[in-house]
Structure 1
């Protein structure tokens, strides 16, 4: 008897899906956007199945119109505001998930409106973000956004056949990343 189980969702998706796991045991389901075999190693370019989410805290000390946004990346702070953020997104029929490497949300995003887009400098690069919701937690104002650009991860299969993340900033990975991205654009 086979251990294979039919999953009707797999029938609808032509794209291959894989799961990334972080050090804390959290998982992130991703589509394989592209793959490349190089010297007995397979590298893959991955995009999350669900929508990536970022949470910003606003500087309380400044006037709201001119306030500075701070990207929340600390796992303890995310844990403190997660229930509030999840409740606010549930009102939009989105389910917030504390997944590996990024927060994600499943469900249909609201329509994109130009006045709901901000540009924020994240890690020395400008990123356009679509506003989803705001909330207060412990007298701090937070906003939830989703990046307009796709979030991509670079990974490779190790000797055991398991996926491990690879830093795209590693100089040795630059040619591989460029080839994966270039082939993605051509298709």
Structure 2
């Protein structure tokens, strides 16, 4: 199954083609570690801080995405990138431009203060509000379980929390095995 492509769907009927990176079992349930075929992206708005010379990135609501999506799509099309409203995430299809130091920004992605590095793909305005489209330098991964009907199902937050220790243990094992293989 590893290396094959499957399609996740959401409640709205949108799809997300993913590559199966690996499959593993926990207590007779089969799980899949999935990576989207296309690049996952996020759109953020730029907002002034209390120090009016500084700006910060803020999340964009679904309603705002509905409004700005055609503009973001047009701006990315100028780079031969196709923006899609995929299931579970926005994605772009195409060849990403080479990342430069100016394009890379650290964004606080977790409540516990973890930061991730993101590449800015586009900057645009909608009704005088600045927005940017970013892709993470670390690929987005999903964990799904194989349902009774054989179709993959994204885990609920509760299921993910319960599975997290197993996933960490599995990934630690895989990474230590890869490190050992590289030493030869």
TM-score in same-fold range (> 0.5): yes
Give TM-score, length-normalised by structure 2. 0.85
The alignment status of 1:89 with 2:79, answered yes or no, reads no
1:133 corresponds in structure 2 to 122
1:161 corresponds in structure 2 to 150
2:108 corresponds in structure 1 to 121
**Residue 118 of structure 1, CA deviation:** 0.5
Give the match's secondary structure for 1:123: coil
List gaps (5 residues or longer) in structure 2: 179-184
The alignment status of 1:145 with 2:134, answered yes or no, reads yes
Give TM-score, length-normalised by structure 1. 0.84
CA distance in 2 between counterparts of 1:149 and 1:64 reads 32
1:70 corresponds in structure 2 to 58
Pairing 1:29-40 to 2, within 5 Å after superposition: 29-40=17-28
1:80 corresponds in structure 2 to 67
CA distance in 1 between counterparts of 2:53 and 2:173 reads 42
Instruction: Judge conservation of contact 1:42–1:156 (CA < 8 Å) in 2.
Output: yes
CA distance in 1 between counterparts of 2:173 and 2:127 reads 47
Instruction: Judge conservation of contact 1:154–1:168 (CA < 8 Å) in 2.
Output: no
The alignment status of 1:182 with 2:172, answered yes or no, reads yes
1:43 corresponds in structure 2 to 31
Instruction: Name the count of aligned residue pairs.
Output: 173
TM-aligned CA distance change 1:142 to 1:23, over 3 Å: same
Give the match's secondary structure for 1:32: strand
Comparing 159-168 and 141-150, the one that deviates more: 159-168
